[in-house]
Amino acid sequence: MSGWKQLLVVGFAVASAAHADPHASAPANDEGAARVLGNWLTADRDGIVQISVAADGTYQGRIVGGDNPHRQDSNDPDPGRRGLQLRGMIIMHGMRYEGDGKFAGGTIYDPDSGHTYKCHLEVLDNDRIKLHGYIGFSLLGRSQVWTRYLGTSMDLPAAPP
């Protein structure tokens, strides 16, 4: 290949890389991305969240079960939403796969506090994921480990008083 053609090819590759979306998800066929899919029991063992791929290719989490099937979103900061049932609600949005079993860029809603936090997620192994919610800086947050839920009932026993 002549010198000017090589320069043209290299220049095109550099220009393409410069315009690439730095937040684009890693390939969907990555084993780490697939391992996060499914039902997860929350750290308090009172909710089941199903993680799936949203229409836009990001990952989302929807409440599909728990120990109070008729619980309403009573702590939502929007008074108009406080009567909505939590079951069926998407509480985790916009998570992008970064590779190596790690997800970032999304948010997670905590129905116990009514707050929404930035979120990172890491697949620890086939049966555990670690979520880290935070406001502002990642160092100022809280982490939880969720375990894979393999049960068939979406109704969990009520927690003892």
Report in angstroms the alpha-carbon separations of 40 from 62, 109, 118, 129, 158.
Answer: 10, 16, 19, 8, 17
Does the domain at 32-148 match CATH 2.60.40.1180? Answer given as: no
The pLDDT tens digits of the residues spanning 114-148 come to 999 999 999 999 999 999 999 988 888 999 999 99
Would the pTM of this model clear 0.85, i.e. be above it? no
The pLDDT tens digits of the residues spanning 61-83 come to 999 999 999 999 999 999 999 99
